[in-house]
Each structure stands twice: as structure tokens, then as C-alpha cells.
Amino acid sequence: MTASIDLQDQMPLIRLLGLGGLLPFFGLAAGVLLLPQSDWRSLAFVGLSAYAVAILSFLGAIHWGLAMASGGLTQPLRSRLLAYGVLPALVGCGLFFLPGGARLIGLALAFLVAYWFDRSHREALGLPSEWLRLRTQLTLGAVVALGVPGLLAI
């Protein structure tokens, strides 16, 4: 049995908020790459890392909320969503302590895994294809914003 989540009316707002959420990724990544003083670059690096962990945690929390609020889920699917719901926060926290570029590359990979999970569960959750297109765009944005400075820092 699948859930049915009607987001069609909310997609314009979801798109606006989601794309707005990329601004800190790109602003902080630009700071890491372009700021002239090393202490400011370091601050932007920590800010980018912390923001990535916060957004990873948010992505997991979405699944926790879906598991709790969606009717019509099978018990195995509900359990999988609850278990997965805490993993991005835990993984992000662990990756935060990696040194330099490895941290940002690890976080970029974590975003790709989170995307894979969302993509593989979209139909079971009844999420619209428009949501997946947005999710693809947001993931690519986060991965680029983390990956470019991460690769340059290695």
C-alpha cells in the first residue's frame, strides 16, 4: 500500500523555498573560493559544512514526519522511513569532523545517497514527479556547491 501526498498546490512555494535554500550553499562556497583572507575563508568553510549538515538533517526529518503522518503505509515502509529519518543527521555529524576537502566531498556524497533514497521511495510515498524534478535540481546544486571547494581543498 502506498501513501498519497497531494503537494500539487504547494509546489510553487516548495520550489521557491527549495531554491532559496541553495543561496547559502552557493554564497558560502563562493566565500571558501574567493575571500582574500584565510580566516574568512575558514569561517565560510565551517559555515558551508554546518549548513550542509543542517540540510542533511532536514532531509532525514522529512522522512520521519512522513512516517508519522502518512496514512496507508505498510509497517515495513513506515519502519524503514523512521530508521532512515535519523541517518542523515548522524552521517552528517560524523562527516563534519573529517579534515579539509574530505569533509565537503563526504557531505556531497551523503546528499547523493539521500537523493537515491528519496528517488527510490517516491512512488511508495505518492510524491509527484514534479517534486522529484525539484529534488534533482536541489541535490545537484548542493553537490556542486560542496564538491567544487571540496575537490580544490584536497
Which tens digit of pLDDT belongs to each residue from 49-94? 999 999 999 999 999 999 998 888 999 999 999 999 999 999 999 9
User: For the purposes of burial, counting CB atoms within 10 Å of the CB of 105, is it exposed (0-12), middle (13-18) or buried (19 or more)?
Assistant: buried
Specify if 3 maps to a domain.
no
Residue 24's CB is within 10 A of a number of other CB atoms, namely 17
Phi, psi angles (nearest 5°) of residue 6:
-90, 100
Residue 48 forms part of a structural domain: yes
User: Does residue 146 sit within a domain?
Assistant: yes
The three-state (H, E, C) secondary structure of 19-61, written as one string: HHCHHHHHHHHHHHHHCCCHHHHHHHHHHHHHHHHHHHHHHHH
The SS3 assignment for 127 reads coil
- Establish if 2 belongs to a structural domain: no
Q: Is the full-model pTM beyond 0.75?
A: yes
pLDDT at 3 over 70: no
Average of per-residue pLDDT across 38-50: 97
Instruction: For residue 131, tell me if it sits in a domain.
Output: yes
| Residue 4 is assigned to a structural domain of this protein | no
Q: Residues of 46-65 as b/e, b for ≥16 C-beta within 10 angstroms?
A: ebbbebbbebbbebbeebbe
Instruction: Report the domain count for the chain.
Output: 1
Reply yes or no on whether the pLDDT at 4 is more than 70.
no
Question: How confident is the model over 114-136, as a mean pLDDT?
Answer: 93
Domain annotation covers residue 110: yes
Tell me the per-residue pLDDT of 17-26, one tens digit each, with 9 for 90 and over: 999 999 999 9
| Residue 5, pLDDT score | 66
> In whole numbers, what is the pLDDT of the chain averaged over residues?
94
**Domain-embedded: residue 139:** yes
Range of the domain at 22: 10-153
pLDDT at 14: 95
Helix axes 129-153, 38-69, angle to 10 degrees: 150
